[in-house]
Amino acid sequence: MSTLNLNFMIYLFWEVFLLAIGPDKARTNITFDIDLKNKLTKMAKEDNRSLNNLVIKVLQDYVREREKNT
């Protein structure tokens, strides 16, 4: 297998499997203090949520409250 083919296959894997999200979604990176991340992870598990899902819910609630008060 040529290097070009291998690089193309890696690119396709990255684009299709690792980065595939819906057209109505946006991917971002957030950096947390480790203590905050651990607390949020614990809270998410208590609510049967993933950390990602908890962060989305908290941000949605925040936006809803801000929009209600403007």
Identify the pLDDT of residue 31: 93
Could you identify the residue written with the tokens 């989305």?
56
Identify the pLDDT of residue 70: 86
- HSE-CB at 9 with a 13 A cutoff on CA atoms is 6
> What pTM did the predictor assign?
0.68
- Domains held by the chain: number: 1
Q: In a structure prediction context, what are the per-residue pLDDT tens digits for the chain, which is 70 residues long?
A: 566 678 887 777 766 666 667 778 888 889 999 999 999 999 999 999 999 999 999 999 999 999 999 8
Identify the pLDDT of residue 17: 66
Which residue range is the domain that position 12 belongs to? 3-68
Q: State the burial class of residue 49 (Cβ atoms within 10 Å of its Cβ: 0-12, 13-18, 19+).
A: middle
